Structure 1
């Protein structure tokens, strides 16, 4: 026996022909598959890829919604403009009202001051009237030349009309601060209990007619014919008379020469 007989051979065992054939078939199939895949990949790589995007179709409903949205936007803009105009108008009105209020306050203050002054003047005039009436009554008892009787009625009438000097002439006025001619006479003689008629025509025939050359203080002077006189006043002595003359002079004391009367009546 050879000395190498017990050592395994270093040669690879021989494969059977069937095994080799099977493996060759598998390899051939794999290579075929790869070739097909490669060819397919090359073909695909050669053709560009195209992607189609479909846009939404503008349907009738969508168009209506767009139109409605636009209309709503326009309406909102119009409302905003209207509100802005209203706010501007309100601001202007508030400013004007504030100015009117300030003017009204100033006017009210002015009127209040004028009323206060007028009240003070009336109070002063009333006090003067009281003093004059008292003085006239006191003097009437000691001076018969200025009155027509012992009661001093003429002096009281004269004191009253003189206290009204400066008052306004107003047609139909019967006092206390504005008079017409017959209204002043009626109120003056009422102070001594004589109830004269209201108008000058009737006053010119009330009492006894006297000559202008024989006048006494307290006589009623008239202008025009007796029974149709258009003006009356009272004679206060010393060639003077007091009457509510006209809107220009108001109640004033004038000489007989200023406007000579037509006649006179005596009621005291």
Structure 2
């Protein structure tokens, strides 16, 4: 399970950069999508013209009012197919700028990530974001293939993560506050990107303190236990994709993934714009 997590985490920058790369913002702006409309519509476009309520449900931890405002009128401006095309074009441009196509082992990592993504397709029930993206045409360009396969593995894992949060009674804002309390991600970034009002954030912190999950601004012992349980269960639900590789190939994928993720990070593609 640790090897599977390492394989996903090391390669995750290849997918995640699409949320920060200036190439994406420019392509969305060309379609008339400004602010966060590009993010919400591009990630949900696989559903078709997704409503704000569908985005709120599947993305899970964004302030609903923020989502509604961001996507209001978006599908009057453009179409899901145009947004998907813009997203794919931007992904290819950004990853080539990072030199991903020149990293040794591209052919090998494509074989492994495709096998994992194909295995995930046999376990798509209850995973709406994954299933919607898996139903899209799979690219022929090698760079976009890598991005698409990792996108599928990311959404496969993410849908499972939401399921665990629901089963543990952890709401979207509660999940954010618990994440912030780990210190792994700056609290300012989480507050700005998810746009919850300060009062609601503070009320949620107090509620989690009463549940014994926070000690001041940090996780309590029980909070650490719950967070670890959620991560462990998320890892377990993501295993069907990686188990298809077997131990040796999963370890090989984890080894191959490192320079690809590093190339994205070193190119500055994960820096908020």
Please tell me the TM-score bracket, short chain as reference: under 0.3
TM-score by length of 2: 0.21
The higher radius of gyration belongs to 1
Higher relative contact order (CA 8 A, sep 6+): 2
Q: Which has the higher strand share?
A: 1
